[in-house]
Amino acid sequence: MDSVDPTPHLERFNSYEQACREFRWLIPQRINVATAICRRHPDAVTRIALSDVKEGGINTYTFGGLDYLSDKFATALSESGIGQGDSVAVVLPPSAALAIAHLGALKTGAVVVPLSMVSDAALLQYALADGAARALVADESIYGVVEAVGRNLPDLKSRFVVRDLRPTVARPDFKDFWSEVDQSSSDFDAVETDATADTFIFYVESQGEITGVVHSHRSIIGQLTAFEMFNNVEREADSVFWTPGEWCSPGAVLGLLYPAWWYGCSVVAGTSEDGASLLRLMEQCEVTHAFIASGQLEALAESEPQPGEQFNLNVRNVVAEASRWPESFVNSDPKVTLSEVYGRPETGWIVGRCERWFATTADSLGRPVPGRSVEIIDRSGNVLPPLHAGHVAVHKSDPGLFTGYHGAATRTAAAFIGDWFLTGDVGYKNGDGDLHIPPSPP
């Protein structure tokens, strides 16, 4: 990576207005985000990057440990013929294996295609084919489904299967992930790519249509101001981040996982379909910061502890896509900060709240993140003044914006008016800059 440090450091600004006025991005021309994350912390050998919650206990991994293991997996990928620009599909639950697969693939210069464990066959088939996946890393519990849809994909050369706590079975059609990591060399020179090079392809299904949303190394850096603002422009050494969802969406990957690691924070890998179990996990792992999607928030809100059970939560900040807060959060600590956020898969989080800097009205989504180019425009691409409704749009120069829809240049062009990407929403800003998106009529 170039010697430029792109960390925003918004804490140096006394106000939101000053941050918007004076902040400037410093993004290196060449960077490998995986290497930067693993090696930017002086105490990487001892600093905890990941707590992997398993049935038998919690396994912890330092940044140095993830660096070492992902170098080994990068070697395994390289020896399997995977290199710069190739696609590596990852279908794993939140876990150390997922972290190592991501980081190892990125170190080779490959593009990661994160996919959900509950993806149906049609989505998997489309994503693997459209993304031209050369390698696949999948959990054994769903390997049969993934393998079936991948049989007719000539580009798919290598299959790795994660068999946590299960004995290795010799099969010619896949390689055992942990065995490959164990026997591969850690002597690997990561590929330093252009900052605009493709890094992730997120496949999103909406109204029956599947689309690949492509983000770059630069896109990840472009999310850092949102991460700082939504976490109240403060960074504490004991911060522990967690989301109850999978690590396959732009919100989870770009909004929490990679920014948390960039700042040297620990992330918890663990989930459950039961709300009470999630609260126990948060208590056990001493989670301080959480990102919770709207559907997950409802599960927590409806969770009921066992008779006589109380949760001693250490949560200081919750970032969510909805405003129905679980009583467990609201009552756990009067100092807990509850923040709504707004964004799209193509943009990452671009609007939200910051208790330290400003107050917003209850019906507002918050204000645009410093460094993100969010405006209200008319049909001709002209920026509108306050209180005038129009398209919510992001300028193409915004570093956090996606690079395009995979293999769909025409659709990418259609998503813009001039230099402005359309989020698909209509709204307005008030005089303070608060974004309002009125609900659609029934």
Domain of residue 108, CATH code:
3.40.50.12780
Q: Which residues are CB-contacts of 285 (< 8 A; sequence separation ≥ 6)?
A: 51, 53, 58, 240, 242, 268, 270
Assess whether pLDDT exceeds 90 at residue 281: no
In-domain check, residue 211:
no
pLDDT at 36: 94
In-domain check, residue 214:
no
Q: Which range (11-20, 132-141, 170-179) has the least confidence? A: 170-179
- What is the per-residue pLDDT across 139-165, written as a single tens digit (0 to 9) for each? 998 888 887 887 778 888 899 999 875
Of the residues 154, 171, 202, the one at which a domain ends = 202
Q: Which range (226-230, 310-314, 391-395) has the least confidence? A: 310-314
pLDDT at 361: 79
In a shared domain, residues 190 and 229: no
Asked if residues 147 and 159 have their Cβ atoms less than 8 Å apart, the reply is yes
In a shared domain, residues 271 and 371: yes
Residue with tokens 């700042």: 263
Assess whether pLDDT exceeds 50 at residue 368: yes
Residue 171 CB coordination number (10 Å): 11
Q: Which range (7-16, 158-167, 260-269, 425-434) has the least confidence? A: 158-167
In a shared domain, residues 397 and 281: yes
In a shared domain, residues 299 and 399: yes
Assess whether pLDDT exceeds 50 at residue 231: yes
Assess whether pLDDT exceeds 70 at residue 294: no
- Please report how the helices 294-301 and 275-284 are oriented relative to each other, as an axis angle in degrees rounded to 10: 90
pLDDT at 1: 56
Q: Which range (154-168, 202-216, 222-236, 258-272) has the least confidence? A: 154-168
What is the average pLDDT score of the chain?
Answer: 88
Specify the pTM: 0.92
Of the residues 202, 236, 265, the one at which a domain ends = 202
- What is the per-residue pLDDT across 399-420, written as a single tens digit (0 to 9) for each? 999 999 999 999 999 999 999 9
Assess whether pLDDT exceeds 70 at residue 107: yes
Assess whether pLDDT exceeds 90 at residue 349: yes
pLDDT at 316: 77
In-domain check, residue 297:
yes
C-alpha 202/C-alpha 213 separation (Å) is 5
- What is the per-residue pLDDT across 369-384, written as a single tens digit (0 to 9) for each? 999 999 999 999 999 9
Q: What's the whole-number mean pLDDT along residues 29-50?
A: 95
In a shared domain, residues 321 and 390: yes
3-state secondary structure the chain: CCCCCCCCCHHHCCCHHHHHHHCCCCCCCEECHHHHHHHCCCCCCCCEEEEEEECCEEEEEEHHHHHHHHHHHHHHHHHCCCCCCCEEEEECCCCHHHHHHHHHHHHCCCEEEECCCCCCHHHHHHHHHHCCEEEEEEEHHHHHHHHHHCCCCCCCCEEEEECCCCCCCCCCCCEEHHHHHHHCCCCCCCCCEECCCEEEEEEEEECCEEEEEEEEHHHHHCCHHHHHHHCCCCCCCCCEEECCCCCCCHHHHHHHHHHHHHCCCEEEECCCCCHHHHHHHHHHCCCCEEEECHHHHHHHHCCCCCCCCCCCCCCCEEEECCCCCCHHHHHHCCCCEEEEEEEECCCEEEEECCCCCCCCCCCCCCEECCCCCEEEECCCCCECCCCCCEEEEEECCCCCCCCEECCCHHHHHHCEECCEEEEEEEEEECCCCCEECCCCCC
Backbone angles phi, psi at 18, to 5 degrees: -65, -40
Assess whether pLDDT exceeds 90 at residue 291: no
In a shared domain, residues 377 and 230: yes
Of the residues 133, 167, 202, the one at which a domain ends = 202
C-alpha 368/C-alpha 426 separation (Å) is 15
Assess whether pLDDT exceeds 50 at residue 442: no
In a shared domain, residues 99 and 233: no
- What is the per-residue pLDDT across 176-189, written as a single tens digit (0 to 9) for each? 999 999 999 999 99
Domain of 386 in residue numbering reads as 10-30+222-436
Q: What's the whole-number mean pLDDT along residues 36-42?
A: 94
Assess whether pLDDT exceeds 50 at residue 127: yes
Q: What percent of the chain has pLDDT over 90?
A: 66
pLDDT at 249: 93
In a shared domain, residues 429 and 298: yes
C-alpha 347/C-alpha 178 separation (Å) is 34
In a shared domain, residues 229 and 251: yes
Q: Which range (8-22, 31-45, 171-185, 311-325) has the least confidence? A: 311-325
Reported as a pLDDT band with limits 50, 70 and 90, residue 232 is confident
Assess whether pLDDT exceeds 70 at residue 295: no
In-domain check, residue 251:
yes
In-domain check, residue 328:
yes
In-domain check, residue 5:
no
Q: Which range (228-237, 240-249, 265-274) has the least confidence? A: 228-237
Assess whether pLDDT exceeds 90 at residue 274: no
In a shared domain, residues 26 and 97: no
In a shared domain, residues 232 and 193: no
In-domain check, residue 309:
yes
In-domain check, residue 388:
yes
In a shared domain, residues 175 and 281: no
The total number of structural domains in the chain stands at 2
C-alpha 221/C-alpha 142 separation (Å) is 33
